[in-house]
Chain A
Amino acid sequence: MPASPAAAAKAAPSSDETPAISVKDLRKCFGDHEVLKGISLEAHKGDVISILGSSGSGKSTMLRCINLLETPDSGEVRVDGELIRMKPTRDGHQMPADIRQVERIRANLAMVFQSFNLWSHMTVLENLVAAPTHVLKRPRAECLEQAEALLKRVGIWERRNYYPPHMSGGQQQRAAIARALAMNPKVMLFDEPTSALDPELVGEVLRVMRSLAEEGRTMLVVTHEMGFARDVSSKVMFLHKGEVDSVGEPKEMFARPPTPQFKQFIANFNK
C-alpha cells in the first residue's frame, strides 16, 4: 500500500475478515483543547501498527480511547467487530452504555504502560496471576504455570518473587509485557513502552516486543522508537495535531516521507 496523506487512513487494505480493531472518526476534547479531531484506524489480525507523532499529537489519547481509559466524545470503536456501545450524558458528552461490555473487551486488549504500572504491593508472579484468575476466572494453578513460562520467556524468571520497586525499569517493563501476555489478549496496546527507560535498558524491552511481532501478535504501539517503527512494524501511522497526517508501509514512509510534517518529524529525530 503506497504511503499517502490522511485519506489513506480510511482506505484500509481490502480484506474480508473483521478487523481486530476498527476506530472511526474518534474525537476527544480536554476542556477547550481538541486533542483528537476525527481519527480513524483499522488493525487486522497480525498487524503491528506503530503510531508516531510529536508530543501533544494525540497518539496516547487515541490508544487510551480504544480501551476506554479515556472516553471519546464521539466516534466509534469496534473490537473484533463488536461496537463499544455509548450513551449520551447530561453534560453533552458520552459514556459507556454497558460497563460490563467494556470490561469484557478490555480483558481482550492488554495494555503496556509508559510507567509500567505494575501493582507495587504484589510480587511479579502475583502481578501476572491477578487478572487471569480474577477477570478470566481461570484456575490459579494453570495461571501460575503460564506466568512462570512467560517470565522465562521475557528473561526475568529469577525475579518472579520480587516486588516491582526492586527491579530495574527494563525488568519492570518486561514483567508488564508478561502480565499483558498472561491475558492471552487479542490485541496488545503499548503506550510509549520505552519512554520512561534509561537508554541502556531500551534494547531489552524492544527485543521482547520484536519477538512478539514476529510471532504474529496484533499490536498497536505508540512509540518514539524510529528503529522499531521502521524495521518491525507492518504499518506506520503518523498523527499531527490530532489528525492522521499519514499512514503507510514503514520502509516506504521512511524512504519517501509523504507529507512535509512527517519529513520534518523524522528529520528532528535524525539530528
Chain B
Amino acid sequence: MDFDFYLSTMWSVLKALPLTLEIWFSGVAIGLVIATGLTWLRASGYKLGEYFTRGYVFVFRGSPLLVQLYLIYFGLSQFDFVRHSPILWPILRDPMYCTIVAMALNTAAYSSEIFRGSLRAVPVGQIEAAKAFGMSAFTRFRLVTLPIALRLALPAYSTEIILMTKATALASVVTIMEMMGTAQKIQHDTFRPIEVLTCAGVIYLLLNLSIARLFAWVEYLLSPHLRPAPEQSQQVKPVPEVL
C-alpha cells in the first residue's frame, strides 16, 4: 500500500472540507428557515397555504436533487428575465449559490414534513393542559408545543441533515471543487480510484459520525424525562432476609 499517496490524497481532500461544510451549513440553515415557513403555512389552517406546501413538497421531494440542481444551474439561465434581473442573476450565475439554493429548497421539503409530523405528534393532553391554565396561543407554543415537537423531530431531522452532508457531493457536477470535486480531479489525474474514493468516503464517514454524535448528545440533553428515574437506575434490589 502506498501510504504516501493515501496521506497526500487525504490532505488534498481535507483541504476541500471547509468548502463542503460551507455548502452544507448554508443549505441546511436556509433550508431550515424555509421549512419553518412552510410548516407554519401548512399548520396555519389556510387552504391556500396547505395547497401550496403540498405542491411544494410534491415537487421537491418527488424529483432527484440532481435534476433540481441542473434545472437551477443550467435551466434558469435560459430565461432572459433571470439573466437581466439584478437580484437573481448574481445568485444564479454562481454555481456555489446554485448548489446552496437547490439544497435549501430540497431539504426544506423534507424538513417541513418532519416538522409537520412532530407537531401533530405532540400529545393533545399536553396542549389541553396549557389551554386550561390560561396560556395564550403563543405561550402555549413556546412552553409546550415547540419543546415537545422539537424533541420528537430531532431523530428524523438529524437523518435529514446527514443526507444533506452527502448531498453536498453533488456540487462537484456544477464545477465546485469541494471534497468530491477534489477527489474526482485527483482520480482523473492519477487513475487510482480506489485510493482516492476511499479517502473521500472515510472523511464523509467521519464527518457524519460527528454530526450523528452531536445530535445524539443534544437528544440526550433534552430528554432527561425519558431516561430511567434517578434512584431507580441505582437501586439495588434488597436481598430478602429470610430465604
Interface on A for B, CB 8 Å cutoff? 67, 69, 99-100, 103-111, 113, 115, 117-121, 130-131, 134-135, 162-167, 179, 183, 189
Contact B133 A131 (CB under 8 A): yes
Q: Please name all residues of chain B whose beta carbon is closer than 8 Å to the beta carbon of A99 when the two chains form the complex.
A: 136-137
Contact A165 B225 (CB under 8 A): yes
Contact A69 B225 (CB under 8 A): no
Contact A104 B126 (CB under 8 A): no
With contacts A134-B139, A162-B230, A166-B232 known, is A119 near B126, CB below 8 A? yes
Contact B125 A69 (CB under 8 A): no
Contact A106 B134 (CB under 8 A): yes
| Nearest CB of chain A from residue B129's CB, rounded to whole Å | 4
| Nearest CB of chain B from residue A73's CB, rounded to whole Å | 19
- Of B65-73, B93-101, B142-150, the one contacting chain A is B142-150
Q: Please name all residues of chain A whose beta carbon is closer than 8 Å to the beta carbon of B133 when the two chains form the complex.
A: 106-107, 110-111, 130-131, 135, 179, 183
Contact A121 B148 (CB under 8 A): yes
| Nearest CB of chain B from residue A3's CB, rounded to whole Å | 31
User: How long is the Cα–Cα vector from A29 to B147 in the complex, in angstroms?
Assistant: 34
| Nearest CB of chain A from residue B58's CB, rounded to whole Å | 29
User: How long is the Cα–Cα vector from A117 to B122 in the complex, in angstroms?
Assistant: 12
User: Can you name 9 A-B pairs with beta carbons within 8 Å?
Assistant: A103-B135, A103-B136, A115-B125, A119-B126, A119-B144, A121-B223, A130-B143, A163-B225, A166-B232
Q: Please name all residues of chain A whose beta carbon is closer than 8 Å to the beta carbon of B125 when the two chains form the complex.
A: 113, 115, 117
Q: Please name all residues of chain A whose beta carbon is closer than 8 Å to the beta carbon of B132 when the two chains form the complex.
A: 67, 69, 106, 109-111, 113, 189
Is B206 close to A, CB under 8 A?
no
Contact A120 B225 (CB under 8 A): yes
Q: Please name all residues of chain B whose beta carbon is closer than 8 Å to the beta carbon of A105 when the two chains form the complex.
A: 134
A117-B128, A134-B139, A164-B225 given; name 13 further pairs at CB < 8 Å.
Answer: A103-B136, A105-B134, A106-B132, A107-B134, A111-B129, A115-B125, A119-B129, A131-B133, A131-B135, A162-B229, A163-B224, A165-B225, A166-B225
Q: Please name all residues of chain A whose beta carbon is closer than 8 Å to the beta carbon of B222 when the two chains form the complex.
A: 121
Q: Please name all residues of chain A whose beta carbon is closer than 8 Å to the beta carbon of B137 when the two chains form the complex.
A: 99
Tell me the residues in window 173-226 of chain B with beta carbons closer than 8 Å to chain A beta carbons: 222-226
User: How long is the Cα–Cα vector from A113 to B130 in the complex, in angstroms?
Assistant: 12
- B151 touches which one: A103, A121, A135, A189 (CB < 8 A)? A121
Contact B226 A165 (CB under 8 A): yes
Is B15 close to A, CB under 8 A?
no
Contact B143 A134 (CB under 8 A): yes
Contact B232 A135 (CB under 8 A): no
Contact B143 A113 (CB under 8 A): no
User: How long is the Cα–Cα vector from A131 to B133 in the complex, in angstroms?
Assistant: 6
| Least CB separation from B143: chain A residue | A130
- Render B97-112 as a binary contact track against A, CB cut-off 8 A, 1 for contact: 0000000000000000
